[in-house]
Amino acid sequence: MPVFLTNIKLFMKKNLSATDIHYQPLCPGDFSQLIVLGNTVHGDGYLTSQILQNWYKKGLTQSPTPHNASYVAYHQGKLVGFRITFAVGHWQIDHWLTPQLWQVDSKKVCYFKCNTVDEHYRGLGIGSQMLQLSIEIATKQGALAGVSHLWQQSPNNSAVSYFTKCGGELVKLHPDKWHEESKNGYDCILCGLDCHCEAAEMIIYFDPLL
């Protein structure tokens, strides 16, 4: 990375604090900025308007009261992070998950679909704060735990590291988790259109955190 860009990042972090970041539930007005950030971090084709609309609906519940389990983070009007979470009963278990190894009823588990933070704002606890906010809402939606697939090849394995610090436990490793998506247009920032990245299936049990 050029020295001047590194200096900019250091300057921003030095002059930012956790109180400078504003958090709110995800809404359609966030979509345009969210798609840009998601595709910048994860690769072109990772997010489209149709995909995001579907993900957004999966985080919502209306009974007994409305709740939204997905969150975004802003700094001075700029979207700098987002956490997509699917509510209990709003997603399906597939062959990339092993519910027989979970210690709770699979019908009481939410799904942490995606956590993304702008590279210039990492190290400020944004990902952890969004996760905690999602856990609070997911619990109100009836979840006892949340499961996720963490990107093993993320820089310095930061995805698994942060999720572990937040209480995540490894369930199983899944090679080639995103290979099919890459064949259908997802351009992985590491592998291109032939992704062979490995996913770590991890779970967080909520009771000890509340």
CA-based nearest residue to 172, from 152, 156, 190, 188: 152
Please write the tens of the pLDDT for every residue from 10-58: 445 557 877 899 999 999 999 999 999 999 988 888 899 999 999 999 9
Q: Please classify residue 152 by burial: count the beta carbons closer than 10 Å to its beta carbon, then call 0-12 exposed, 13-18 middle and 19+ buried.
A: middle
Q: Which of 11-20, 92-101, 123-132 has the lowest mean pLDDT?
A: 11-20
The model's pTM is: 0.84
CATH number of the domain encompassing residue 77: 3.40.630.30
Residue 156: pLDDT band with limits 50, 70, 90: confident
Q: Which domain holds residue 114?
A: 3-209
Residues 162-189, mean pLDDT to the nearest whole number? 83
Tell me how many domains the chain contains.
1
Q: End-to-end distance of the chain based on CA atoms, in angstroms?
A: 40
CA-based nearest residue to 61, from 138, 147, 145: 138
What are 208's two structure tokens?
Answer: 């000890």
* pLDDT in the model for residue 6: 41
Quote the longest CA-to-CA distance of the chain: 53
